[in-house]
Structure 1
Amino acid sequence: MAAHLVCLTNEGGVPLFSRSSGSAKPLAFAEQGMLYGVQMFAQNHGVTLQTTDTEESKVVWRVFHDSIVLVLVQGDDGSSHVHANTLLEHVFQTMVMYLGLDTISRLRNIERLRRDLRVCYPVIDSLLEDVHVFDSICETVEVVSTTEVASLQEPLESFVTECDSTFGCVHCNGRLLVATPKWWSLSGQEMMLLCRFIRSLPKNSASDIPVYLPHASPKVPHRLISVHLLSGLVVSVLCLDVPTLSTVQSKLIETHWLPHFETLKGCLRASVTNIPKTIPIDPGILGFLVINTEQHKCISSCELPIVEGSMAERRPLTVQKRRRILTSFYRNTVGSIFSVIHSPERKDPSGDRPSTFLHAAEETYMNALDHKCFAINSKDFRLFAIFSSAVPHHAVRYVSLQFLENLKKDKAFTDLREKKS
């Protein structure tokens, strides 16, 4: 879905950057000025302008800390405006992650800020584009489901301790593979944005970059040291003055990770399809997204193999189409049928609307010519699944319930967060 994002100063409407996704052409300067003018006209008359709809698009405005205005223009897919507001929240916190809250909220040098914001573009573009993970739309970090994770916890803990830190993790093809309890204790948004940032780093490289934690430390930066162990597999640690990047590369990487390279290779292979090996999956399921709303984790896969002779073989869907369907189903369910669950650290849930129902929906479904969808809203977990159209209606609910119960037991949902005293 094509989208335009415009960032301006709240005082004066000076453009800071403009990004576009899909086949959309960048907005002209006059169009950016018009979007700001409408918002400023409303603001001068004591009105907070949040959203408006046209025949084909929706426009969302957000003002952050009375300094930055973000405007999003995207096609109207019928979903709740809460998803557009969540995207703008992610974009602003990306800016904070790179530059710090003080720099963003106190606009001292506009030209320098405009130049500095360029480092944010890779993460912002990934938030605007359709990617291979669902983390941003559900404010969680996407994890890898594999039985080999347990054997990597000890070397990670040892490596992070040698780095004089308690925050460390390993990412695998854009998903979080294993992390320390302190890392799991970060907010879902922080883990998601750090994952996006690490994924944007050059392949087969090592880096030492200062980052701010949008909720835990928005004004004081930490060093984020990241080293590619294999292509697509990165170990990262948040630390202070020590160690140096050269020390990590020359002394710590080989000692702690070389004995586990075969395990790491196995994790890389498992992350491609991300199918839990210990969980039976009905051949009629084409894709799924399961969210642990309490731990802010999610697991997804749209690359479930089609079993020869199964019902799913009658009308096969490409992986790309499965992903589009699952994303659309989520966006049109959450905010209208299911309530929105934000990260607890999010102070401004703009766009949320109180439900007009007297009860909370627990299940919903959708039928189409070439597929069926089913969603379950239970305590701490949500499941969104795509089925072959050949699966009988009465079987979809039963299979979904059984599948969710099995997924709840997956080791990826073991609570590893640091216990608060």
Structure 2
Amino acid sequence: MAVYLYALTSSGGVPLYSRTLGDGKPLPYPVVASLNGVHMYGKSGEVELVSADSEQYNIGWRSYPHSITLILVVDKSLYSKHQIDELLDMIYDGMVMLFGQDDLMTIKNVERFKRDIRVSYALLDYILQLHSTNSFSDITQCVDVLASRSTEILQNSLNAFTDAASSLHGCLLINSKVKVATPEWSSLGHREQILLCHMVNSLPQVPAARDVPVYLPKTSPNVAQRLVTFTLLPGAEVCLLCGPTPSLSQLEKEVERFWQPSFDAIKLVQSSVDRNLPKDTLVDSNVLGFVMLSNSSKKCLSCYTSEADEYNHQLGSYYYYIPCYLMAD
């Protein structure tokens, strides 16, 4: 199964970058040129080409104001046409998160942009590989969350730490999913929350403390924020959106003081993260798993029961398609 992503300038069709993931060979340049050419031909006749399909692939096009055209080619077994539309928007917003909207809308030097855009490859590749993880955010457009005990102690630690950092926005990620968050973090756009989580998960695991400038695609597309993250335990990260102060080194000194009392609670959550339910929660033996979606809060809770280990691959494939149709409205 293969995924192909191409970015070109909207005005002249100049290639900006390409990403190929999976076991497929890169598409020949004449094929890519034809895909862009048929899209530009449609635009010249005031017709917008949005999607097409072949025997093996689904294809999606999306042009963004005054700047970039994205082309996504995916194996039909991975994404439907509706999912491709959502994925293209997430990819573009991911680029906005790293570059800011103004810089994307006014590409003044194409060759320089080609060099600069490389910093986004890790995030883009992570998004394109979500189909092979236990995340449903790319098809549901909902934030993946955890259900477990110890919520109160973890929420208290997070609130105290964000207060010390003079921040309103913070969350705790455990095994790439949100365990607790401040109300202000949860009030961000759902795609902003999803992309912030993807950003953290796509960063190198070393060093344990990181300070990355980000733009929020809807809330603050042209003014950068600081995304500050600290690894508390393997697989557990606390994330903050901060202003110019305090510095990373100042915050790093406070991590142990605020989070040491919560380490046992974090380990307890991690012990049940695969099942994604407290160990003492009984589930009928006939239930192999479930996906629970909230349209109002844009949250997604997924679970494979311990009895379903031998069926996890089949369940994963089944669950991966069902949420798309449930969320289509």
Q: TM-score range by the shorter chain?
A: over 0.9
- Residue by residue over 1:28-56, the C-alpha shift from the partner in whole angstroms, topping out at 9 and shown as x without a partner, is 33322221111111111111111112222
CA contact (8 A) 1:7 1:68 kept: yes
Q: Which residue of 2 aligns with 1:284?
A: 286
1:203 touches 1:232 (CA, 8 Å); kept in 2? no
2:255 equivalent in structure 1:
253
- Give the CA deviation at 1:276: 4.3
For the structure 1 residues 218 and 262, does the alpha-carbon distance in structure 2 shift closer, same or farther, using more than 3 Å as the test?
Answer: same
2:96 is paired with a residue of what secondary structure?
Answer: helix
Other-structure match for 1:323: 316
- What residue identity is the alignment partner of 1:244? S
1:248-297 deviations in Å (ceiling 9; x for gaps): 112x1011011211111112222232124564311112221111110011
- Assess if the C-alpha contact under 8 Å between 1:211 and 1:221 holds in 2: yes
Q: Which runs of 5+ in 1 are unaligned?
A: 307-311, 342-421
Distance 1:182 1:329 in 2: 31
| Secondary structure at 1:288 match in 2 | strand
Q: Which residue identity does 1:116 align to in structure 2?
A: D
Q: 2:153 aligns with which of 151, 154, 169?
A: 151
State the shift of 1:131 in Å: 1.4
Question: TM-score, normalized by length of structure 2?
Answer: 0.94
**Identical pairs, percent:** 34
**Partner of residue 118, structure 1:** 118
- Asked if the contact 2:122–2:203 (Cα under 8 Å) also holds between the matched residues in 1, the reply is no
Residue matched to 1:49: 49
In structure 2, the residue matched to 1:220 is 223
Q: SS at the partner of 2:193?
A: helix
Name the one with the larger helix percent: 2
Aligned to 2:177: 175
Q: 1:78 to 1:97 in 2, by over 3 A?
A: closer
Deviation at 1:209, TM superposition (A): 0.7
SS in 2 for 1:273: coil
CA distance, structure 2, for counterparts of residue 80 and residue 272 of structure 1: 27
Quick one: distance in 2 between partners of 1:149 and 1:114?
A: 44
Indicate if the aligned counterparts of 1:4 and 1:18 stay in contact, CA closer than 8 A.
yes
Structure 2 unaligned segments of length 5 or more: list them. none
How many equivalent pairs are there? 326
Secondary structure, counterpart of 2:150 in structure 1: coil
Answer whether contact 1:287 1:326 (CA < 8 A) is retained.
Answer: no
CA distance in 2, matches of 1:72, 1:56: 14
3-state SS of the aligned residue for 1:290?
strand
Residue 93 of structure 1 aligns with which residue?
93
Distance 2:296 2:106 in 1: 34
Residue type at the aligned position of 1:51 = S
Q: How far apart in 1 are the matches of 2:170 and 2:272?
A: 21
Aligned partner of 1:287: which letter?
Answer: G
Give 2:266's aligned amino acid. Answer: L
CA distance in 2, matches of 1:119, 1:273: 34
Render the CA deviation track for 1:182-216: whole Å, top value 9, x for unaligned: 00101111111111111112225211110011111
Q: Mapping of 1:373-388 within 5 angstroms? A: none
Residues 339 and 293 of structure 1: CA distance in aligned 2, closer, same or farther (over 3 Å): closer
Normalised TM-score (structure 1): 0.74
Give the superposed CA RMSD.
1.8
Matches within 5 A, 1:9-28: 9-28=9-28
How far does residue 155 in structure 1 lie from its aligned partner after superposition? 1.4
CA distance in 1, matches of 2:37, 2:200: 37
- Looking at structure 2, the residues matched to 26 and 60 of structure 1 have their Cα atoms a distance apart, in angstroms, of 17
Q: Distance in 2 between matches of 1:51 and 1:82?
A: 9
Bigger Rg over Cα: 1
Matches of 2:328 and 2:212, distance apart in 1: 34
